[in-house]
Amino acid sequence: MKNLIVAKFGGTSMGTAQSIRQVAEIIKGYDSIVAVVSATSGTTDQLIELGEKALADENWEESFQKLVEKHEKIINELEIELDLSPYFENLRKLLQGISLLLELSLSAKDRLLTFGERMSSQVLAKLLNREAIDAYELIFTDNNYSEGNVNFEKTEKAILERIKASEKTCHHWFCGSIRGRSLYNFGKRRK
């Protein structure tokens, strides 16, 4: 296997169509790279706000629509065809559940906070005409919600197998998995 570069691009680097284009140009300069991306600038804070509004049973629809429009604007400016509606539909369902139960468990909060990275990785991957990989397919943690500890042996095995299949790829960061479907945060901690 060639030397592999792992590059992390934060929210500012993923904040606008122009900055995402710059990230794409950087990635194109390497033969073997894994790009790890954050949510677009400000998205994690918007998601936290949405969760808090849903928990307080306040109207979150306007804030939700701003988040949708922000991502649609970036997609339009990048001139790519990408449908993020499945992500937004799932986010809407989660917010409805929080609002209905008036409860924002650590599990629900972890799931809520992953939407930004999951969407931004799709945007970058589409721009590069590559596949985005959800980190929860590759990174395994224990069940400590909001502060998951990585199972390095299982994670390394999954990552190495995936790298063998595709050397240029794009995925998001800070969510892991346990039992294949649950999302846990690690690394960047939002209380």
How many Cα atoms occupy the beta-carbon half-sphere of 75 within 13 Å?
19
Number of domains forming the structure of the chain: 1
Alpha-carbon 9 to chain mean position: 12
Is 190 domain-assigned?
no
Strands 175-178 and 168-172: unpaired
Q: How many CB atoms lie within 10 A of CB 20?
A: 25
Is 191 domain-assigned?
no
Element (H, E) at 5: strand 5-9
Residue 40's domain spans which residues?
5-185
Encoding tokens for residue 98?
Answer: 């929080």
Name residues of the chain where pLDDT drops below 70.
Answer: 1-2, 166-191
pLDDT tens for 83-100 read 999 999 999 999 999 999
Q: Which residues of 126-147 are buried (b: 16+ CB within 10 A; e: fewer)?
A: bbbebebbbbbebbbbeeebee
Any idea what the CATH number is for the domain that residue 135 is in? 3.40.1160.10
Is 136 domain-assigned?
yes
> How much is the pLDDT for 7?
87
Strands 175-178 and 33-37: unpaired
> How much is the pLDDT for 167?
53
Identify whether the C-beta of residue 78 lies closer than 8 Å to the C-beta of residue 16: no
- DSSP helix/strand/coil, 178: strand
**Cα dihedral 81, 70, 33, 155 sign:** negative
